[in-house]
């Protein structure tokens, strides 16, 4: 992982009964939903309006390393970090913890894009300032 990462958002969410699969633990696809929810909350906290036809953040890749199985009931604490910041993108990292213990690590590259043209655009100034602030 990027050693220059900075914590930018923390959230907590309950593990739902329906998150589990036939093996009795949280299905691997649900971990991506937890990361998505945390990312949406972070974007909303930055006052970014996501709307069709405008500029906004999209994900160009996502990854997750499953360290320990999660089970219902429980509460997942999701820590989101930013690493490298580019012209139109930033690398994000996620730690998913239960009771302070690390259960999964994730990452996603977020790119600002014009949704009509499909082309990347520079990060908004206020977003860049938040990401680069010490």
Q: Is 72 within a domain?
A: yes
* pLDDT tens digits for range 59-111: 999 999 999 999 999 999 999 999 999 999 999 999 999 999 999 999 999 99
Q: Is 54 within a domain?
A: yes
Could you give the count of Cα atoms lying within 13 Å of 10 in the half-sphere of its Cβ? 7
Range of the domain at 41: 6-132
Q: Is 109 within a domain?
A: yes
Q: Is 59 within a domain?
A: yes
Q: Is 65 within a domain?
A: yes
Helix (H) or strand (E) holding 64: strand 55-66
pTM for this predicted structure = 0.91
Would you state the pLDDT for residue 1?
43
Rounded distance, CA 80 to CA 92, Å?
A: 7
43: phi then psi, degrees, rounded to nearest 5: -65, -40
Q: Is 43 within a domain?
A: yes
Check which CATH number belongs to the domain holding 37 and give it.
3.10.129.10
Among 1-15, 62-76, 112-126, where is mean pLDDT lowest?
1-15
Q: Is 1 within a domain?
A: no
Q: Is 105 within a domain?
A: yes
* pLDDT tens digits for range 53-73: 789 999 999 999 999 999 999
Percentage, residues of the chain above pLDDT 90: 84
């Amino acid at each position: 992982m990027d050693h220059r990462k900075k914590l930018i958002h923390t959230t907590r969410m309950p593990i739902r009964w329906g998150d589990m699969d036939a093996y009795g633990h949280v299905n691997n696809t649900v971990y991506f939903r937890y990361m998505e929810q945390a990312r949406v909350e972070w974007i909303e906290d930055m006052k970014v309006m996501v709307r069709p036809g405008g500029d906004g953040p999209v994900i160009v890749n996502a990854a997750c390393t499953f360290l320990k199985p999660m089970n219902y009931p429980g509460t997942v604490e999701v820590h989101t970090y930013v690493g490298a910041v580019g012209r139109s993108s930033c690398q994000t990292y996620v730690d998913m913890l239960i009771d302070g213990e690390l259960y999964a690590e994730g990452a996603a590259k977020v790119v600002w894009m014009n949704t009509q043209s499909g082309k990347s655009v520079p990060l908004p100034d206020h977003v860049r300032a938040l990401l680069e602030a010490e």
